Amino acid sequence: MGLIRAQWVLDDERGPVADGVVHVEQGRIVQVVSGAASIRRLVDAVGEKPSDLGSGVLCPGLVNAHAHLELTALGGRLSGDGPFAAWIGHLLRERAECTDSELARGVHRGAHELLDGGTTAVGEISSLAISPPWAESSPMAVRLYHECLDAGDRARTREALEGVREQADATSLMPAISPHAPFSVSPDLLAGLGVLAKTGGLPITIHWAESHEEQEYLLQGGGPLAEHLGPSPRRPGLDLIDEAGLLGPRTCLVHGNHPVPGEPERLAAAGTSLVHCPGTHRYFGRDTFPLELYRRAGVNLALGTDSLASNTALDMRREMALLREVQPGLAPAEVWAMATRGSARALDLEGQVGCLSPGARADLVLFQVESGNSESILDELTAASPPVTALFLEGCRQERMPRAPMGSDR
Ligand SMILES: [Zn+2]
């Protein structure tokens, strides 16, 4: 049980309110109150003095809807200057040169970097089974997706399906899957994953419409990806995902840089979320993200850092600031919602993280802001990467945030 008081509290409905208290019990939020009289009544009812954090704005932790912490060890080793297919090849070669323990240390380092920036929940994609042990013991909220792909090789299709079943048995976390992308997962594997997802009610994430090369291969059957993947299905990726039964409210698609007309509306109708990764977008020097198409269609939008193989930091504050730079017309409240409630919904964790609602995890972050009024606080939170001076996971203050294990190469 506990009462946590701060100069400002970011209420879900009202925005920043002065002098607020978050009431926490057993790691969950009970309620948020503000103003001296309401706080006094709460203190009397609970019979406990609030722990006063002083200056700053107390917020729900940020939610990173797309990460590959297993690739943290590759930070700084790749370049986004060349073609996308060349980047994939480079990534696979660099990853093969890392030992499992280097990759595992990277996972811990990446998680620590997220916490440093006020991110308390993450959608992590595991390709190599390196991040599951971390995810199982992490005090963060982790949606762990098991990645599957067969890259046009029929021999790998069955193996990939078996892998999902084994992973589901091995983990104490709710199983979730990530068919890698419609160009790297055969229609047979997509169909098999669709059946598993439907039977198990599994959360799903899929890279979709990320690059020109992907669209060229899927729609026309040509381009550099055709050399590695064999014959193209010559179908839009979204049709393949939809036909496999993988388009629904528990699915989030990632990137969506090249939707064809009508696709944003299909996402909205299915209740499917879209995750944008501003840092990765910048890394590859891509054209402006077509955010307005998704907004107009009413698609739930989320933000993610992606990995250090295509980004220079794992910091959701920076992702918000990058988005505001390129979309200056976007309201700060909307950008904040993408990095909190929108990302929570994308991970099928709505109401559990990214909000200060009753029943949500008490994952709280105190950001130091210079603003003295509620109007400019959201502006500062989303554009100025304010420092984090206190962080709580399930109501427990992280006095020393979890560091990488001994032997860290940090
Ligand atoms: Zn990714």
Task: Enumerate the β-bridge partners of residue 220.
Answer: none
Examine the pLDDT at 5 and tell me if it is beyond 90: yes
- The rounded radius of gyration (Å) of the Cα atoms in the chain is 21
3-state secondary structure 216-239: HHHHHCCCHHHHHHCCCCCCCHHH
pLDDT at 331: 96
| Residue 390 alpha carbon to ligand 1 centre in Å | 29
Provide φ and ψ at 85, rounded to 5°: -60, -35
Average pLDDT over the chain, rounded to an integer: 94
Q: Are 66 and 306 in contact (CB under 8 A)?
A: yes
| Residue 131 alpha carbon to ligand 1 centre in Å | 15
* DSSP symbols for 334-351: HHHHIIIIIHHHHTT-BT
| Residue 116 alpha carbon to ligand 1 centre in Å | 21
| Residue 3 alpha carbon to ligand 1 centre in Å | 38
| Residue 310 alpha carbon to ligand 1 centre in Å | 9
- Host H or E run for residue 197: helix 187-200
Tens digits of residue pLDDT in 351-407: 999 999 999 999 999 999 999 898 899 999 999 999 999 999 999 999 865 444 444
Examine the pLDDT at 408 and tell me if it is beyond 80: no
Q: Strand 57-60 and strand 364-367: pairing?
A: antiparallel
Q: Mean per-residue pLDDT for 17-21?
A: 97
| Residue 65 alpha carbon to ligand 1 centre in Å | 10
Tens digits of residue pLDDT in 246-292: 999 999 999 999 999 999 999 999 999 999 999 999 999 999 999 99
**pLDDT band for position 169 (50/70/90)?**
confident
| Residue 48 alpha carbon to ligand 1 centre in Å | 45
Distance CA 149, CA 157 (A): 8
Which has more pLDDT, 405 or 12?
A: 12
| Residue 68 alpha carbon to ligand 1 centre in Å | 6
Tens digits of residue pLDDT in 212-257: 999 999 999 999 999 888 889 999 999 999 999 999 999 999 999 9
3-state secondary structure (DSSP) of residue 28 = strand
- Percent of the chain residues past pLDDT 70, beyond the cut: 97
Taken in order of first residue, the domains within the chain and their CATH numbers are 2-60+355-397 (2.30.40.10), 62-346 (3.20.20.140)
Distance CA 316, CA 303 (A): 8
| Residue 88 alpha carbon to ligand 1 centre in Å | 11
Q: Strand 51-52 and strand 28-34: pairing?
A: unpaired
**pLDDT band for position 409 (50/70/90)?**
very low
pLDDT at 18: 96
| Residue 8 alpha carbon to ligand 1 centre in Å | 35
Q: Which amino acid is located at 75 in the chain? A: G
| Residue 328 alpha carbon to ligand 1 centre in Å | 25
